[in-house]
Amino acid sequence: MDLFDKITKSLGGPIGQHQKWSHGYFSFPKLEGEIGPHMQFKGKEHLVWSLNNYLGLANHPEVREADAKAAADYGMAYPMGARMMSGNSIHHEELEDGLAKFVGKQSAFLLNYGYQGMVSIIDALVDRNDVIVYDAESHACIIDGVRLHMGKRFVYQHNDIESCEKQLERATRLTEQTGGGILLITEGVFGMSGAQGKLKEVAALKKKFNFRLLVDDAHGFGTMGKTGAGTHEEQDCMDEVDVYFATFAKSMAGIGAFVAADQDIIHYLRYNMRSQTFAKALPMPMVLGLKKRFEMLKNQPELREKLWLIANALQSGLKERGFDLGASNTMVTPVFLKGDLFEATALTRDLRENYGIFCSIVVYPVIPKGLIVLRLIPTASHSLEDVQRTLDAYSAIGEKLKAGYYKENKLEIA
C-alpha cells in the first residue's frame, strides 16, 4: 500500500464522493465515508480552501462515531458545573495530561474557547506592575488580552528581533522601577501570512533579558514539528517556551483550547483565569471527541503527511506560475495580488461563480491599499486533483487581472 492509499484509507474512504445536507446558502458534506472539502453555495458546488480542518478530522468516521457515542452516553449537558466545583471528570484530566506531555510541559489546563482563553491567560498572568512586549501582527485575541492590561505594553515590529530587543530594553528599564516582570507574546504560526514566529531567536534573548515567553500556536499545533507537537518542536526550542497555548479549532477540528506550562503556572491559572473559574466545564461529548481527535493526531502521522503533500503541491504550483506567496514557510498559503477594492470583489466573484473555488479574501484596511490577498488553507481532505483545479483557476484569474478584465467590469457569470 503506497502513501496515498494509506492516507485515503485513514481518512475513511475514497476522496471525491459525498452527499450533502443544506442550510440556507450553504451545504456541507454528509458523512458517507468521505470528508472532502466541498460545499454547495447558492445551488452550485464549490471547492473550499477556507476550512479550519488541517488534518481532515472534521467529518472523519472515527471522530463522528466517538462524538455520537459520547453524546448518547452523557448527553450534551454533563458535567453540570465549573471545573473547580462539580464540573471535573477523569476524562478532562486525562486529556490535559496527554496534551501536556505531547507539547513538552509539566501540566495543562483545558479552556472552553481559544479566543476567550488567550484573552483570559494574558489577564491572569500580569498585573499593573508588569510590562507586556508583543509582536505587531499578533492575532486579535492577543490584542484584546493586551488591551485589558492595566500596565505598560510595548509592540515590536513583526518578526523583527532587533526591534524586539529594543522593546525589551524599554520594558526592563520600566520593571526595574515597578518591581514587575515582563511577558513576551508571539505566535508559532501567523495565520494570515503563514510565517513562523521566530521563537528560537526570541527565546535566545533570555540570555540578556529576564522575561516569560507566551506562544499562541493555534495553527502550529498538530501541523508543525516532527511529531506535530507544534512550532516550538519544529524550531527545537520546546523548553524555552514558558507558556504554550493552542486551540482545538484548527488541527483537531473541534471546540476549545488548552494552555500548558510548568505545574505551578497551570495551578495558578486554574484558580485565576476568570473566564474558566466562573464558566461551566467543557461538555463530555466534546472532551471525549477531543480525546479521539488527539489520539489520531498523535498516532496517524499519515494525516499530517497528506496535509503537507497538498500544501507543497499547491505552493510549488503557484510559485511556478509566478504568484507571490509572501513570507509563508508553513502550510498557510496567502496569494498576494495587485488591485483595487473593485477588482478584488470582481475577482473573488469570478473565482467563486465561474470556477467554483471558495477561499478567503483580505483587502484594505487589513492590508495596504492596492493589494489583494487570497488565503488558501490546505487540508488532508483535499486531493491533488483539487490542487490542479485550483492552479488552473488561479492562472486564469491572474491573467484576467493583469489584462484589466476586472477593472473594466467585464465579468460575466456563467
Give the CATH number of domain 61-299: 3.40.640.10
- Beta strands 360-362 and 371-376 are antiparallel
Question: Within 10 Å of residue 84's Cβ, how many Cβ atoms?
Answer: 13
The whole-number pLDDT of residue 276 equals: 87
Which residues, given as ranges, of the chain have pLDDT below 70?
Answer: 1-36, 410-414
- Per-residue pLDDT of 223-278, as tens digits, reads 999 999 999 999 999 999 999 999 999 999 999 999 999 999 999 999 999 888 88
Q: How many residues does the chain have?
A: 414
The whole-number pLDDT of residue 82 equals: 81
The whole-number pLDDT of residue 20 equals: 39
The whole-number pLDDT of residue 305 equals: 96
The Cα–Cα gap between 286 and 309 comes to: 29
The whole-number pLDDT of residue 19 equals: 33
Options 3.50.30.10, 3.90.1150.10, 3.30.56.10, 3.40.50.300; CATH for 10-48+301-409 is 3.90.1150.10
Burial of 399 (0-12, 13-18, 19+ CB in 10 A): exposed
Where along the chain do its domains lie? 10-48+301-409, 61-299
